[in-house]
Structure 1
Amino acid sequence: MTPSPTARRGPRRLIALLGATAAGLAMVACSSGGGAEDPADAGSESDSGGGTSGSAGDVGGTLTVFAAASLQEAFDVLLAAFGEQHPDVEVAPAVYDGSATLATQLEEGAGADVLATANEDTMERITTAGLEASTPEPFATNTLVIAVPTGNPEGIADLPDLNDTTFVICAPAVPCGDATVELFGLTGFAGAPVSQEQNVTAVAERVVNGDVGAGLVYGTDVAARSGELEAVVPTGADDVVNNYPIVELEGAQPAAAPFVEFVLSDEGQAVLSEHGFGAP
């Protein structure tokens, strides 16, 4: 029996359909670069962002930073800028406190990705405990000053003048307190503070609030409150300089190393300089 015209068209339509489908799949593969991309080309594209501090979105996850209280103003700016450059990173509010307090929290199991302290001795506690994932890098310096209210109403010019007013210092266990003890020892000053605070921010706030007539803080703390405080540079201050190190912590999220690099970069150093910190 001779096939009908309809029956003969069936196989032809099937062949045509299969041909069109194959051609369509080939076009899709070409347009997506599927399978034919040179691995070297792929590598060069992913590297175009310039390493760990490269293009936005090259890292993700979260970022939690522990930082000395004196770094708050500068690090708030640095973290905001880092978050803008890496929108896939969830930047948690930084934890600011005395360096010794932060070290104790980490030793007791607190979770963080990056630690920045106000001196090297406190950072040594972290490395001794094996809590670091990289070598600590110095990134800034700071110097003690006497903070007085704007206008310096009591006319304080140097450390001996503190005997004529009430003043506060940081506790010796924290970097600003350790530096204060060293400064007093170098100059032979033996005045008695009315209290010892757990971080430098608390000292500055007591002067701002009028609780005391003066306080020993870092120059950056006065700069951050330029409308409320003035700085008096005491004799011997240049011989007591705090070096600030930063480190990626053990078990840190992927964003930790890029953030450390950002702090050490020209952009990060410019932010720190604008807030009164010296170069490392």
Structure 2
Amino acid sequence: MGNESRRLRRHLAGLSAASGLLAASCAPPITGDQSPSATLFAASSTRVVNEELTSLASDAGVELRINTNGSSGLISQLSEGAQATALITADGATMKKALDQGLVVAPQAIARNTLVMVVPADNPAGITSIRDLTEQTRLVLCDDRVPCGAASSSLAQVNGLKLSPVSLEAAVGDVLGKVVNGQADAGWVYRTDAVAAGDSVRVIEIDQSERFPTTLWAAPTKQAAGGNDAQALMNILQSPAFAADLASAGFLPLDAGVAQL
């Protein structure tokens, strides 16, 4: 199959497992008698690289499980006692909340993302611009409490738009799912979601989107920090190989000005 079919297959798999656990096969141990075992709590936008990440982990001898959800939902799970080795959030503001709550230590920026608008492939509402959005448009956005929603609100404001979404979702994957399934005329999602969806959607640029990029941050959880499992997982998340996978999925490289929360 071609790259488009592979991306769509990966996207659909990610949607079906949006809040589940993915397990990588266990490779022979690097050292000692047992391979590192890690659980990653990862923002919904990163589900497009779950396949590549689990493969990298397997190659490194790390048994990896991935819990994919909205960034705010992941923090709630951690604050309620859920066990994880590391956390990836879709923006710095959400990671700072986790840091302030004592849930993580030493966050590291790993990539950037921007928003686009997507419509179904057949575009039944005939939308060609954000200026075509009306009260009659079945528009789906992320909730303001998650990074994609906060970025959407900023973009709407700077573009002078008064949007009337029919639904606000807790994870960007749910926004994309409603567009792909024909339950929405349009949705605002990350560029990486549009890349993963392939020919199942049309992409429409959002004016000034480049002014409001979101930055992926990764950090070991406080409960796991200093352990071999956390170090092994953070090594993978900051590796050139994973950076290349992120770039292939549509994530942008870091700017010099995003190294601090």
| TM over 0.5, shorter chain | yes
Aligned-residue offset at 1:277: 0.5
2:199 matches 1:227: yes
Match of 2:59 among 69, 84, 88: 84
Task: Indicate conservation of the 8 Å contact 2:36/2:232, yes or no.
Answer: no
Aligned: 1:262 with 2:236: yes
For residues 47-86 of structure 1, the aligned pairs below 5 Å read 57-58=30-31, 60-86=35-61
Matches within 5 A, 1:50-199: 57-58=30-31, 60-86=35-61, 89-92=62-65, 94-133=66-105, 135-163=106-134, 165-199=137-171
Looking at structure 2, the residues matched to 204 and 210 of structure 1 have their Cα atoms a distance apart, in angstroms, of 10
Partner of 2:12: none
Amino acid at match of 1:90: E
Task: Give % identity.
Answer: 32
Query: Does the CA-based 8 Å contact 1:157-1:234 persist in structure 2?
Result: no
Equivalent position SS for 2:30: coil
In the alignment, residue 42 of structure 2 is paired with which amino acid? A
Task: Measure the CA separation in 2 of the matches of 1:219 and 1:61.
Answer: 33
Q: Which residue of structure 2 lines up, in the alignment, with residue 214 of structure 1?
A: 186
Aligned to 2:25: none
AA aligned to 2:250 is: G
What is the number of equivalent residue pairs in this alignment?
222
Structure 1: how far apart are the matches of 2:85 and 2:116? 31
SS in structure 2 at match of 1:230: strand
Helix, strand or coil at the partner of 1:227: helix
Contact 1:150 1:229 in 2 (8 A): yes
CA–CA distance in structure 2, aligned partners of residues 180 and 103 of structure 1: 21
Report the CA distance between 1:151 and its aligned residue. Answer: 4.6
Deviations 1:23-54 (A, max 9, x none): xxxxxxxxxxxxxxxxxxxxxxxxxxxxxxxx
Contact 2:57 2:63 (C-alpha < 8 Å) held by counterparts: no
d(CA) in 2 for partners of 1:80, 1:170: 29
Inter-partner Cα distance in structure 1 for 2:91 and 2:110:
11
CA distance in 1, matches of 2:154, 2:111: 20
Query: Deviations along 1:174-231, whole A, 9 cap, x unmatched?
Result: 0000100011111110020101011100000000110111101001111111021121
Query: Where do 4+ consecutive residues of structure 1 move more than 3 Å?
Result: 151-155
C-alpha root-mean-square deviation of aligned residues, in Å?
1.7
CA-to-aligned-CA distance 1:98-124 (integer Å, 9 cap, x gap):
100001111111110010000001101
State the Cα deviation string for residues 47-74 of structure 1 (Å, max 9, x = none). xxxxxxxx96137341000000110121
Contact between 2:151 and 2:214, CA under 8 Å: does it hold in 1?
yes
Paired with 1:156 and 1:112, the residues of 2 have a C-alpha distance of 42
C-alpha distance in 1 between matches for 2:101 and 2:237 = 24
Report the TM-score when normalising by structure 1.
0.75
The question of whether the paired residues in 1 share the 8 Å contact of 2:178 and 2:184 is answered with yes
- Per the alignment, residue 33 of structure 1 pairs with none
